[in-house]
Each structure stands twice: as structure tokens, then as C-alpha cells.
Amino acid sequence: MGNPVPLLFLEVNTPAIWQWETFTDIMRHLKTFPFNGLILHQQTLLALLAKPSPRCPPATVEHLLLARSNALHYLQNVARYCEENHIQLWLQGEATPDCHDLHRKFPEFFLSQDPHNDAAFLNLFFGETLPEILSHLPTVRGLRLSLTHLPCTRQRGNQRCNASTRACVYTAVSWCCAIIRTKRGPASS
């Protein structure tokens, strides 16, 4: 049995990543150094990739669906390129109830200041939205989430995270969960 190869990721957090030329430049740097993984970090990435709720106003839904479709198509090309070059692709973004873009896609959860709406939104987002996003990106190997405003206690939060993730870390400032996929299967629990 051989020695396991340690993972060495390059995290990229720039809006320029949405330009193919920038992405290919980053890939050239990855090949120069011993990186075997790439983390694309955009604060609003998950909001961009989330499918709008059926209760989203018809006047905005077409624009939101087009932006989502374009982002998914681009990330599918990025994922294909990474897979062909033996680079693990991970995505990182925030999933917080105070995100304006998520308010536009899921207005039914943010019409009142009821704290139960935040918990209901997070249950929907983690239970349905994230799996739906990942179903369109089968070669993405992991997802790192910043959960800076999780509205629950540490113990309840750990239970929620452990149900859908392999790693969940709590700090005094924020939650960070990582969903890790096995080869091409669903997220591991």
C-alpha cells in the first residue's frame, strides 16, 4: 500500500475567476507548484447557484435563472478542466440568512423578522438547495461553507451539520462546514 498523497489546495477569491483567461492562468500556476486542489471562493457563490423559490416574484425570476444557468455552465467547464488535469475542485461561499441575494431568491423566509424563518430557511437550504446545486456539478469534490450567523446553539448546530457533512468546526466567531464527496457519489455523512 502506498503512502497517501497530502492535499495541497490553492484558494482563489477574486471576481476575475469568472473570466476563462484568469482561470487558465491560475491553472498554469497550479501546475507549476505541487497543488492538487483548487478552492474557488466567492462570498455570494451559493446565492448565485441556488435555484429561486417558486414564490420568487415573476419579474425577477427570469434574470435570476439566467444568471444561475450561466454560472453553472461556466463552473461545469471549470470542473471538467480540473478533472482532466487531476485537480480537485472545491467551492466555498457563505450561506447566511442576511444575504441580500438569498432574500431575492427566497422572499417567503424574509418577509418578517421572526427568528424561526432563519432556521426554516437554513433547513431548506441545506436539505434541498445544496444537494440540487451539487447535482449539477458532479465532479466538485467538496464544498466549504461559512455560516457566520447560524441561529442555533452549538449543540443543535453540530447535529444539523453532522447530518449532511463530514466535517464541522465551530469557533467563537463562526461556523465552517465542509461537505466532502466520495469519488462521484453523494455527499458523505
DSSP states along the chain: -PPPPPP-EEEE--GGGGSHHHHHHHHHHHHHTT--EEEEE-TTHHHHHSPPPTTS-HHHHHHHHHHHHHHHHHHHHHHHHHHHTT-EEEEEEE--TT-HHHHHH-GGGSSS--HHHHHHHHHHIIIIIHHHHHHT-TTEEEEEEEETT--S-HHHHHHHHHHH-SEEEE-SS-EEEEEEB-TTSPBP-
Average pLDDT of adjacent 10-residue blocks, the chain of 189 residues:
80 95 95 92 92 88 94 97 95 81 84 76 86 93 73 42 38 44 44
Q: List pLDDT tens digits, range 63-99.
A: 999 999 999 999 999 999 999 999 999 999 887 777 7
Q: Report the predicted TM-score, pTM, of the whole model to 2 decimal places.
A: 0.77
